[in-house]
Amino acid sequence: MTAYEDGEDKPKVFVSYHTEDVAQARLLGYQLEDEKYNVNAVDNSPKKPYKGDWHKPMEKKIKNSDAVVVVVGEDTHERKAVKWEIKTAAKYDKPVYAVKIKQENEVPQEVYDAGGKVINWNLKRIKYEVHYNT
């Protein structure tokens, strides 16, 4: 367990999301990057479309992150790419946190399989989890 304090590096968080939820994922990333929350939200959206296998660049970003936050929208639980990202996080022993956009959204089973936590869209709580439980 690592606690990130003032003066230390910010924890790096890989934000996983279904493309339909890109606006909410970016919002969460921007909010976490605010100095009050002191988190480096890794931008995992490609600057240009990947040619060939997209798994390698995503795996590298997940491996180099301290935690994975899954933005859970209406269809996230059905998305193969999100499930793969969660499984990859588990492969590298990265903590996984699911944050629901709406309370009724279904969390992917892979979050539970990875020992992940479901937390509300509460920036103080997310900061606490990322800073003190990663």
Residue by residue, DSSP assigns 36-74 as TT--EEE--S-SSPPPS-SHHHHHHHHHT-SEEEEEE-T
State yes or no: pLDDT of 34 exceeds 70.
yes
Over residues 111-118, the mean pLDDT reads 97
Which helix (H) or strand (E) covers residue 14, if one does?
strand 12-16
State yes or no: pLDDT of 94 exceeds 70.
yes
For the chain, give the mean pLDDT.
88
pLDDT given at position 15: 95
Boundaries of every domain in the chain: 12-132
pLDDT given at position 9: 77
pLDDT given at position 13: 95
Instruction: Please state which CATH class domain 12-132 belongs to.
Output: alpha beta
State yes or no: pLDDT of 6 exceeds 70.
no
Instruction: Provide, rounded to the nearest whole percent, the portion of the chain with pLDDT above 90.
Output: 70
pLDDT given at position 121: 93
Phi, psi of 9 (to 5 degrees): -60, 145
State yes or no: pLDDT of 64 exceeds 90.
yes
pLDDT given at position 8: 58
State yes or no: pLDDT of 28 exceeds 80.
yes
Whole-angstrom Cα distance, residue 88 to residue 58?
A: 9
Burial of residue 46 (CB within 10 Å: 0-12, 13-18, 19+) is exposed
